[in-house]
Amino acid sequence: MLKTIGARVQEIRKKKGFTQEELSERLNITPHYLSALERGVYNIKLTLLVDILNILGCSADEVFQDVVGCASQVKASHLSDMVEALPPKEQQRIYEVVEALVKNASK
């Protein structure tokens, strides 16, 4: 679980354009410690996690989506947002593929 959370923090950090050095400076921790957190070596203290979320401008749902049972709602919402950003023709193509996969899965 720690590795999964750390990997998600790393993914979001990179997506937001922060280097480990930049984020660790803003958090008042060493880049080495941030690296260890991202690799799941240490538990992330709640206060530090809240600081990370605030600095990166993301929600706890984004970080915990792979480890919390009700995370499928977060994933579905995220996927929906991604699809909505596409041109209508691409949206339709994706909906057709997903519909086919769902029908096949329920057999």
Judge if 55 and 78 occupy the same domain: no
Judge if 41 and 78 occupy the same domain: no
Output the pLDDT for position 104. Answer: 86
Q: What pTM was computed for the model?
A: 0.63
Judge if 58 and 85 occupy the same domain: no
Domain span holding position 25: 2-64
Torsion of CA 78, 82, 88, 92, to 10 degrees: -60
CB 94 within 8 A of CB 28: no
List, for residues 56-94, the tens digit of each pLDDT value.
999 888 888 777 765 567 677 778 888 999 999 999 999
Judge if 53 and 74 occupy the same domain: no
Judge if 15 and 44 occupy the same domain: yes
Q: Contacts for 13-18 with beta carbons within 8 Å, 24 or more apart?
A: 13/38, 13/56, 16/56, 16/57, 16/58, 18/55, 18/56
Tell me: pLDDT of 14 over 70: yes
Q: What's 30's domain CATH number?
A: 1.10.260.40
Type of residue at 83: V
Output the pLDDT for position 67. Answer: 75
Phi, psi (rounded to 5 degrees) for 60: -65, -30
Judge if 16 and 55 occupy the same domain: yes
Judge if 16 and 58 occupy the same domain: yes
Judge if 8 and 59 occupy the same domain: yes
Tally of domains within the chain = 2
Judge if 80 and 59 occupy the same domain: no
